[in-house]
Chains A and B, each alone.
Chain A
């Protein structure tokens, strides 16, 4: 049994997991190594339990020539043995626990200079918002190789999840809450992005592709998309709050902001505070950044974003807003204030 275990351990050691399921991101942070470590002790446990069961079943089987009332040896326990098989597994679990804990904190650590992308789950598609791009994307996402990514993930309706098997990481997209998923793509290729949390009848088809491409290809794709943004903002010009149109603002709000904000009183929080009466709420005379609720300051928060006690408010780039969008939004917010 020791020999079989040893062979299995060697086989596990030389097994290139990468060949079975490619590793395409450094979020791997040793997840595969941890998995292998668990296989290392799983193999002998499995072999020894099964081996002894089989061996004892043959060795001690009742034989025809034994008396019908034959019994086994009256062994009620062997204390040292029992101590061993309590203490050894406990130690093993301590090692596994420490290793897992270290890896776990690595997973939560943001990387410097990360590309911040908003990912929003919908029944039944993924939406991604890139900083600096006006339109949202619903499938066939691009990510540059070797650049750290922080996915800010949430959901517009029910619980979904964000999983790229080749990146090895997954988090749920929970409505009313933003989670950050950090990873760095390291392999050029096309990988599936799948939802694993049951989300209704479209769940089985909630799959799309993530394209990890070279920086040059990414830049090409990005500037192509950006030209459209530029074309749009050229026609819009610089921020001109007076030109805001309420109905346009409302449409943008529902598309971009309602994931995180309710059009209700400040206390009716979703991810961020409710935004009704933002210009005239006696209970909240100041904005979250401490400034007075003037149209300019509200526009400032929408443009620059803000991260305070409540959470992270993405900036206009991340939300893909042009300056005319901001003006429209402010106009809409004003119309919703007494």
Chain B
């Protein structure tokens, strides 16, 4: 689509494309960013559930030191599927494909993303990738963890071919989505929406898109080299034929460290939207939050070797990576402090969405601190590849990403479905999840420091007590999610009509009906100021300035 077309789309009232009539064009091969967002939400949600089942299988096995529930082979497959599904098939498509697609174009006053057909194509790389990955269960599954370090991953047989192909395929979709989002944010913002007037979720989506675009190429190299090693016996990772084992780790982490920020930066955006809405005041330090997002993204390309402190890089190579990793804590701290400060002098509405965000603040802070501990090489020599590391990643990915995502679900659900969820059920869900989350993952720090490695099907009987406690908490944690499903189904059947703006928010998506009409905005809105000016008139052109900003939930 040329720049001209984009200009026309933005300025005229002409429909982008006629509303589809048939079921297939409306719900299956849709080019509407909102439908695609929901499609991503459903598939990635299912993947998170499936991944959760694998996690529960892991926890059943670990209730006893020499349990026979799973064979070591099955156990290895379980943690490989858990990690792979969670990262590439659950969380990344959830925060970019689902939230990015649904929310970002609405927040910039656009009628769709820049390339709607490409968007449809991106989504349709996803279900085939899922099928490829799952079909490996019938042929010999991959079993060396989501990191698939060679040479051990190359011993697994044909599983690695399925794994690389599946991840490569979702990677294509993710890259194209990134391209699409970046173009959309650059070219399709409503007139008057300067960079400093963009909602923070839009900032987050744009920065994430840059990360995906740059980093995923390194993942492609890592995957390609494994594929070639297995299929054509190319000796990249065979030292007896001149190969170098750590090469893979460099390529993998050059992607996967930025990838952990692909997982969290959109959530920073979600949190930065929910907090001002329910604090009912402007976000504290907008510019510093946006700036810290950008600096985290830049730094995230310069710290990958902190995953390889024990791999033999020597002191002079590890040193800069250690210092730069510690520096990331500074912008991360800025965010946490700014969010907390926003609560000062607020008129706080403790909705379920807000509770999840407050929970996020608490747990993500712990994850950030353990990150600093792992960044200090001497301490990492003790903690690396133990349950302490497992605790760190779950405090940032469950306590961070997933808590934020659930907050986002409670927040935008009325916009997507037009109906409210039950707040009292939601609050129960929050407290149970928050408590059992900490009960599950906090003890993992200790068991790791005391000497339990990660990815073990059997362990030293000395750790049985703690492991049993962790497993029981993990079952209850999984159980707490039933409340979310009950709530969602109840809301779809019986939930009260939400109206355009139940929370009294001020970003553009709340200025139009819920669910939004096919074209989102009949006329392109004009933007006059930051969206977060609580207490001031809405900074949009008519008719988008007439929605009530009094909470009605």
Closest Cβ of chain A to B274, distance in Å, is 14
Q: A49-B365, A62-B348, A174-B312 are in contact. Are A31 and B382 (CB under 8 A)?
A: yes
Would you call B549 and A69 a contact (CB within 8 A)?
Answer: yes
**A75 and B284 contacting across the interface, CB-CB below 8 Å:** yes
Q: Tell me the chain B residues, 12-33 only, with Cβ under 8 Å from chain A.
A: none
Q: Quick check: is B468 within 8 A (CB to CB) of the other chain?
A: no
CA distance A264 to B242 in the complex (A): 11
B window 150-170: CB within 8 A of A: 150-152, 155
A199 CA to B449 CA, complexed, in Å: 21
B244 touches A74 (CB 8 A): no
**Using Cβ atoms and an 8 Å threshold, which residues of chain A touch B417?**
none
- B369 interface residue (CB < 8 Å to A): yes
Q: Are A89 and B282 in contact (CB under 8 A)?
A: no
Q: Quote the shortest CB–CB distance from A256 to chain B (angstroms).
A: 16
Cβ 8 A contact of A61, one of B287, B319, B348, B549 = B348
Contact indicator A72/B288 (Cβ below 8 Å): no
A-contacting residues, B323-347, CB 8 Å: 323, 326-327, 329-330, 333-334, 336-338, 340-341, 343-347
Q: Are A100 and B327 in contact (CB under 8 A)?
A: no
Size range of the interface on A? 35 or more
- A214 beta carbon closer than 8 Å to chain B: no
Residues in A whose Cβ lies below 8 Å from that of B288: 77, 82, 86
CB distance from B259 to the nearest CB of A (A): 19
In contact, A53 and B362 (Cβ under 8 angstroms): yes
Q: Which size bracket describes the interface of B in this complex?
A: 35 or more
Separation of A70 and B377 alpha carbons in the complex (Å): 50
B450→A269 contact, CB < 8 A: no
A220 interface residue per 8 A CB criterion: no
Q: How far is the CB of A81 from chain B (nearest CB, A)?
A: 7
Instruction: Tell me the complex Cα distance, A66–B347, Å.
Output: 9
CB of A85 within 8 A of CB of B242, answer no
Q: Which residues of A contact B534 (CB under 8 A)?
A: 71-72, 74
Please provide the chain B residues from 513 to 553 with a CB less than 8 Å away from any CB of chain A in the complex: 533-536, 549-551
With a CB–CB cut-off of 8 A, which chain B residues contact A57? 343, 348, 350, 358
Q: B344 near A38 (CB under 8 angstroms)?
A: no
Q: Do A104 and B340 touch across chains, with their CB atoms under 8 A apart?
A: no
Contact of A198 among B279, B334, B384, B455 (CB under 8 A): B455
Q: Which residues of B contact A168 (CB under 8 A)?
A: 381-382
Residue of B150, B333, B336, B349 touching A62 (CB-CB under 8 A): B349
Interface residues of A in 1-40 (CB under 8 A from B): 20-21, 29-31, 34-35, 38
Q: Does B144 contact A (CB under 8 A)?
A: yes
Interface residues, chain A, CB within 8 Å of chain B?
Answer: 20-21, 29-31, 34-35, 38, 42, 45-46, 49-50, 52-53, 56-57, 60-62, 66, 68-78, 81-82, 85-86, 89-90, 93, 96-97, 100-101, 103-105, 107-108, 157-159, 161, 163, 165, 168-172, 174-177, 179, 192, 194-205, 207, 262, 264, 267-271
Q: List 9 A-B contacts (CB under 8 A).
A: A38-B373, A49-B361, A60-B348, A75-B284, A104-B315, A161-B310, A165-B450, A177-B246, A204-B75
The 3 closest A-B pairs by CB, nearest first: A176-B239, A72-B281, A204-B456
